[in-house]
Structure 1
Amino acid sequence: MLPPMRFDLIDLKLFLAVVDAGSITRGAVDCGLSLSAASERLRDLEADGGVALLERGRRGVTPTRAGEALAHHARLIHRQLGQMRGELAEHAASVRTTVRLHANTAAVAELLPPRLAPWMAAHPRVDVELKERQSNEIARAVRAGLAEIGILSDAVDTSGLTLRPFAVDRLVVVAAPDDPCTAEKALSFSRIIDRHFVGLASGALQDHIELQAAKAGYRLRMRLRVANFEGICRMAAAGVGVGIVPETAARRHRGTPKLAIVRLTDDWAVRRLAICTLSQEEPAAPALDLVEHLAAFPPSSRGR
């Protein structure tokens, strides 16, 4: 007879985060835990159950068959908790509730703020836990019940998810007006891939750009990393290097002296963003209301 497993909701949330990230380190960060605390919780889970839940390797971790079973039930528990919170919020005006929203860099920095702000002002008892992630990570998080809502590129695997159009996110090159690349109105990434770049210090968009370079056999030569799109635009305008930013960000900073904007022609530079929720069940009331609010405007009007 197997010994009874002793765990709490934090253990389940951590285990799901680790499985979906394929990394104990990333899972710990997602749950706000230190690596040592997360590792100890996972070891205790395995010790209590008397069974290995994770296979640990040089490239990360993967769930064992027992781990897959635990992840399945943990997802169900998290979904039921979300539904419970939503239903309780409907019956108690004084109860605060939280909507978990994961979105890519362009949505977090450019497209969401003007839509999210009025909704939150109108719903003072609803908090939004907003996390920036890559689109494939967002899809996994929503499927796993770690987020009620995602905003992602519809180019990734969205099986099991319901999608609603949100925005068209176009990436452009920003540079000084006398930079050679500004002689054309549009160019491909291959034309600038060997140049010095100014980019973000971290984030899903920067990871996406560097992944495209890696697919072409290059490692970007990063001359400077900054905290936001404004920093990229200012440094690019000064001739420090070229940058790649969402078109909405480039146009917002067009007033920056001497900033030139050139369209990227690569397919990956045009991303159709969608709002995603789990197909098999409707989000709790606050999350559903936010989804309907975000989807209320045509994609062409986003960020303009």
Structure 2
Amino acid sequence: MRLDLADLQLFICIVDAGSITQGAIKAHLALASTSERLRLMEEDVGVPLLMRHPRGVTLTDAGETLAKHARQLLDQQQQLRRELKTFTSGARGTLKLYANTSALTNFLPARLAPWLASHPELHIELEERTSADIISLLSTGSGDAGIVSDAVDGNGLIAEPVADDHLVFIIPGDHKLHNKQAVSFADIIAEPFIGLYPGSALQDHIHSHARALGHDLAIRIRMSTFEGLFEMVDKGIGSGIVPAVMADKYQSRFHYHQLALTDSWARRKLCICYRSRKALNPAMRTLIDHLKTR
């Protein structure tokens, strides 16, 4: 059979109206066109679908079967339209968002939770990368948006600040620098460090600046969490470089001193980056607007 959805819709209009003439009006078609399409439908099926009477039409057994399945198919079509519309309006789907370590561990959890709660059909796929990697990925068309440090070159991307993200140098309580308020990275580069896990975007960021100064950091041990890093510093095992907001968070639990880093790359802001707002799907635009609200 070659029946299409338009044929089925027309047939249901005739059935509901109880008349070919009224069905044609309901379907916004000429009577001659409606009669011809109905004739072709019956020819295609091979049996009569309607019994014609002076005052209208009634269904044959075949017509009853067709009407039953036609209604189901048309209902499914409407359901499909509604569900697809939620994608175009940004009400459902999966969003890919890149984030550096600081954004992933500190900024995003509290900001994403209420947004996700108010958008139950949406999912977010978070991927941790260094800020430089995120810029490179977005510039080449891989992904829609990412949260990076403004200390890196944005390569022409739109970059909108969402939060402060200064880095600080933390030291054990009895460290020789405990009377200092601020230091440069060059001043401390030879210190024994507690590092973060391999692949950490923040740790890779710090290593890249060490290499720029012609040094490799002396990493005594790598920890999988900030909490573990702070505990190691508390025990005097080494020093570390962490986001100021994380240092403040754990200050009451562990004993260490915070020193400001004077390097420009450490006095940074988190920015949401993307190529073009027009190119973003509606859901991502909504998410970005939410993240920008302080």
Scaled by the length of structure 1, the TM-score of the pair is 0.65
Letter in 2 for 1:262: L
Correspondence 1:190 to 2:206? no
The aligned counterpart of 1:133 is 129
**Residues of 2 paired with 1:102 and 1:240: CA distance?**
32
Letter in 2 for 1:196: P
Is the Cα–Cα contact under 8 Å of residues 89 and 283 in structure 2 kept in the other structure? no
Equivalent residue in structure 2 for 1:219, among 209, 212, 216: 216
**Residues of 1 paired with 2:132 and 2:90: CA distance?**
36
Correspondence 1:102 to 2:82? no
Correspondence 1:268 to 2:262? no
The aligned counterpart of 2:142 is 146
Equivalent residue in structure 1 for 2:111, among 111, 115, 122: 115
Give SS of 2:286's match. Answer: helix
Q: From the superposition, tell whether residues 256 and 278 of structure 1 become closer, same or farther in structure 2 (CA, over 3 Å).
A: same
Q: Deviations over 1:190-240 (max 9, x none)?
A: 222111110101211101111111111211111010012111111101101
Structure 2: give runs of 5+ residues left out of the alignment: 1-82
The aligned counterpart of 2:67 is none
Give SS of 2:123's match. Answer: strand
Q: Deviations over 1:222-278 (max 9, x none)?
A: 101001211111110110100110001000001123222111111111112211122
Is the Cα–Cα contact under 8 Å of residues 100 and 130 in structure 1 kept in the other structure? yes
The aligned counterpart of 1:82 is none
Pairing 1:142-181 to 2, within 5 Å after superposition: 142-181=138-177
Q: Deviations over 1:33-60 (max 9, x none)?
A: xxxxxxxxxxxxxxxxxxxxxxxxxxxx
The aligned counterpart of 1:281 is 278
The aligned counterpart of 1:302 is none
The aligned counterpart of 1:9 is none
Letter in 2 for 1:124: P
Shift of 1:146: 2.3
**Residues of 2 paired with 1:175 and 1:290: CA distance?**
37
Q: Which moved more, 1:239-248 or 1:155-164?
A: 155-164
Pairing 1:227-246 to 2, within 5 Å after superposition: 227-246=224-243
Is the Cα–Cα contact under 8 Å of residues 237 and 260 in structure 1 kept in the other structure? no
Q: From the superposition, tell whether residues 201 and 184 of structure 1 become closer, same or farther in structure 2 (CA, over 3 Å).
A: same
Q: Deviations over 1:150-174 (max 9, x none)?
A: 1112333324422211122111111
Equivalent residue in structure 1 for 2:202, among 196, 202, 205: 205
Is the Cα–Cα contact under 8 Å of residues 177 and 259 in structure 1 kept in the other structure? yes
Is the Cα–Cα contact under 8 Å of residues 151 and 265 in structure 2 kept in the other structure? no
Letter in 1 for 2:150: D
Q: Deviations over 1:120-145 (max 9, x none)?
A: 11111111010111112112222333
Q: From the superposition, tell whether residues 189 and 257 of structure 1 become closer, same or farther in structure 2 (CA, over 3 Å).
A: same
**Residues of 1 paired with 2:140 and 2:119: CA distance?**
26
Question: Considering only CA atoms, is the larger Rg found in Structure 1 or Structure 2?
Answer: 2
Is the Cα–Cα contact under 8 Å of residues 103 and 130 in structure 1 kept in the other structure? yes
Aligned alpha-carbon RMSD (Å): 2.0
Give SS of 1:183's match. Answer: coil
Q: Which moved more, 1:199-208 or 1:246-255?
A: 199-208
Letter in 1 for 2:95: V
**Residues of 1 paired with 2:84 and 2:285: CA distance?**
10
**Residues of 2 paired with 1:86 and 1:207: CA distance?**
41
Give SS of 1:177's match. Answer: coil
Give SS of 1:184's match. Answer: coil
Pairing 1:35-114 to 2, within 5 Å after superposition: 89-90=87-88, 96-114=92-110
Letter in 1 for 2:259: V
Letter in 1 for 2:239: V
Is the Cα–Cα contact under 8 Å of residues 90 and 284 in structure 2 kept in the other structure? no
**Residues of 2 paired with 1:136 and 1:87: CA distance?**
36
Shift of 1:91: 6.2
Q: Give aligned-pair identity as a percent.
A: 39
Q: From the superposition, tell whether residues 286 and 221 of structure 1 become closer, same or farther in structure 2 (CA, over 3 Å).
A: same
Scaled by the length of structure 2, the TM-score of the pair is 0.67
**Residues of 2 paired with 1:291 and 1:164: CA distance?**
9
Is the Cα–Cα contact under 8 Å of residues 104 and 135 in structure 1 kept in the other structure? yes
